[in-house]
A and B are shown apart, each in its own frame.
Chain A
């Protein structure tokens, strides 16, 4: 079976007048289904651009990107939206929950766009919230939740459509150590239990240590790609 993600000679070039920025310069790699990957690199190294392309938010300038064997480098906006809806779950550094909207409704959002029936939306969203340990907080608004809890709502939202790939952009960047550990613990459990593919951007080696593979970017190129035994995240008391 082909790898979940196959990237060949991926280039992303931004041109603004005379200025030409090569954000990705011929990246080639494969990520198998079920892998847990940490992507590292300084800011401007191209890792964010790479994640945007993987997440179907952006199109590469050239090169090939196959997701589950399907070439999608040149997919249309609607096709990419469809992929984001069904195949990919996003977790952001700043949580990005919709304000003044309950946790449950935030989690239901991808189901709404996937065209899932209203009754099933609630059931699946409740389930996803339970999976991240937030049962009982369905009706809380984002500003009534702690940072760690908000990020867990965001993870539930990323999971609810049962995607094959979870992309997280510095998911612990705005969290304290304990909350960070909780998030990592959830990630590891999900991956263990449901075989999710997990790609996380971070620039903290402590966080990257919890992932089985570490890919490092510099100046738009992959400079190292190593495998390791991941450290097991142990959170303190569950909030």
Chain B
């Protein structure tokens, strides 16, 4: 009955009620949209970490931590196949090692051609990167030993060179004018954190790359080594082991800078995740302020309403309403207002999260917890900001209230 009375009172002033809830609507919508976008971003980053391979360490030639002017990675190749093999043999915290060298080259099939990254990789590449085949199979140790001219294409390259319905397996394409037989197509992997298309590759055996396609500065030079730690907990140990081993092998004196760089991808991902979390928290704080302002709006309107309805309150008291009846009525009005705003805001928030997904292409993930929490919080705002006006109404003197003009 109190609820009915409250809803009736709100309906009496539709425009005012609507405008009052607007603050809450916007606040809740903003909170939900922000949380959805933030969670979506986090989820996307997590997906990207997974797509790179779990517990992955990248070892690149050249120092990035140098004090003086020094070229970064990709300058002079100082890493070798032997480095990689020794890492695999000697580092207890490391599970798998793979290496590659690469160059941008033209891939040609019939009339079509596509500029892609041709990468010579060791046979373990797939396991270490946690990648799998969509079609066909990967090359093995024998192809490596004999420097076979076989290639496995990334999805993008396969799509660019072969029309729909054409089977790439068994076809012969030319990479840097060298004919290769396509023996497999990779599963799609998507973009890296830095926006590189990981599917835009043509993988060939490392020895083939070195001897027949890309050439080399010296035998065994690699562009990058990937190593996986046995577990997430052992990543830092693995990193240390690699550094120690490589410094020793490269005869780097104590105090001298490394001529290589070890990067923990998880760390990078975590950094970007932290950044997005900080951003989300900031936006959330702003959105919460809107909720607060909305609450004050409700309090303000209720105070006006109490004054306006002083006579009504007097009448209600005269016919037997106790203080708590009046208190409850105004409190319920406040909660109804804010809850209504909360529900509308939740709908609007989910809607705008979807809209952002659709228009800006940002991934969003609506969190049921956040929706529930925001709606609940809006009800709490109603209780908090409704209490003062409600108490003011309940403590009116009936005689004065009845006489109020």
Contact at A157–B319, with CB atoms within 8 Å?
yes
Query: What residue in chain B is nearest A161 (Cβ atoms)?
Result: B320
Question: What residues of A have a CB within 8 angstroms of the CB of B402 in the complex?
Answer: 57, 92, 96
Interface presence of A114 (CB below 8 A): yes
Interface SS of A by simple majority: helix
Number of A-B contacts (CB under 8 A): 59
Query: What residue in chain B is nearest A78 (Cβ atoms)?
Result: B322
Q: B195 → chain A, closest Cβ, in Å?
A: 61
Contact at A112–B318, with CB atoms within 8 Å?
no
Q: Which of A84, A96, A98 contacts B320 (CB 8 A)?
A: A84
Q: Which of A52, A78, A109 contacts B316 (CB 8 A)?
A: A109
Question: What residues of B have a CB within 8 angstroms of the CB of A109 in the complex?
Answer: 315-316, 319
Question: What residues of A have a CB within 8 angstroms of the CB of B1 in the complex?
Answer: 112, 118
Contact at A113–B399, with CB atoms within 8 Å?
no
Interface presence of A85 (CB below 8 A): yes
Contact at B311–A96, with CB atoms within 8 Å?
yes
Contact at A113–B8, with CB atoms within 8 Å?
no
Query: What residue in chain B is nearest A158 (Cβ atoms)?
Result: B319
Query: Per-residue CB proximity of B323-356 to A under 8 Å, as 1/0?
Result: 1010000000000000000000000000000000
Q: A150 → chain B, closest Cβ, in Å?
A: 13
Contact at B399–A85, with CB atoms within 8 Å?
no
The A-contacting residues of B in range 295-335, CB under 8 angstroms, are 311-312, 314-323, 325
Query: Per-residue CB proximity of B227-269 to A under 8 Å, as 1/0?
Result: 0000000000000000000000000000000000000000000
Question: What residues of A have a CB within 8 angstroms of the CB of B319 in the complex?
Answer: 84-85, 90, 109-110, 113, 157
Interface presence of B142 (CB below 8 A): no
Q: B217 → chain A, closest Cβ, in Å?
A: 89
Q: B330 → chain A, closest Cβ, in Å?
A: 15
Interface presence of B190 (CB below 8 A): no
Query: Per-residue CB proximity of B1-17 to A under 8 Å, as 1/0?
Result: 10001001000100000
Interface presence of B398 (CB below 8 A): yes
Question: What residues of A have a CB within 8 angstroms of the CB of B320 in the complex?
Answer: 81-82, 84-86, 110, 113-114, 161
The B-contacting residues of A in range 159-175, CB under 8 angstroms, are 161
Query: What residue in chain B is nearest A85 (Cβ atoms)?
Result: B320
Q: A54 → chain B, closest Cβ, in Å?
A: 13
Q: A57 → chain B, closest Cβ, in Å?
A: 5
Q: Which of A81, A92, A97 contacts B322 (CB 8 A)?
A: A81
Contact at A57–B315, with CB atoms within 8 Å?
no
Question: What residues of B have a CB within 8 angstroms of the CB of A114 in the complex?
Answer: 320
| A229 to B316 Cα, complex, angstroms | 36
Q: Which of A81, A92, A100 contacts B317 (CB 8 A)?
A: A81
| A157 to B1 Cα, complex, angstroms | 17
| A98 to B402 Cα, complex, angstroms | 12
Contact at B398–A78, with CB atoms within 8 Å?
no
Name the residue in B12, B318, B322, B325 with the highest tally of chain A Cβ atoms < 10 Å from its Cβ: B318
Question: What residues of B have a CB within 8 angstroms of the CB of A90 in the complex?
Answer: 318-319
Question: What residues of B have a CB within 8 angstroms of the CB of A78 in the complex?
Answer: 322-323
Question: What residues of A have a CB within 8 angstroms of the CB of B316 in the complex?
Answer: 98, 109, 113
Name the residue in A82, A86, A101 with the highest tally of chain B Cβ atoms < 10 Å from its Cβ: A101
Q: B351 → chain A, closest Cβ, in Å?
A: 33
The 7 A-B residue pairs with the shortest CB-CB distance, nearest first, are A85-B320, A113-B320, A81-B322, A110-B319, A96-B315, A90-B318, A84-B320
Interface contacts beyond A90-B319, A97-B315, A98-B315: sample of 17 additional A-B pairs, CB < 8 Å, sorted by A: A57-B317, A57-B399, A57-B402, A77-B322, A81-B322, A81-B323, A82-B320, A82-B322, A84-B319, A85-B320, A96-B402, A98-B316, A101-B8, A109-B315, A110-B320, A113-B320, A113-B321
Task: Write 26 A-B pairs (CB below 8 A) sorted by A numbering.
Answer: A55-B318, A57-B318, A57-B402, A77-B323, A78-B322, A81-B322, A81-B323, A82-B320, A82-B322, A85-B319, A90-B318, A90-B319, A92-B402, A96-B314, A96-B315, A98-B315, A99-B312, A100-B12, A101-B8, A109-B316, A109-B319, A110-B319, A113-B322, A113-B325, A118-B1, A157-B319
A positions within 8 Å CB-CB of B? 52, 55, 57-58, 77-78, 81-82, 84-86, 90, 92, 96-101, 109-110, 112-114, 118, 157, 161
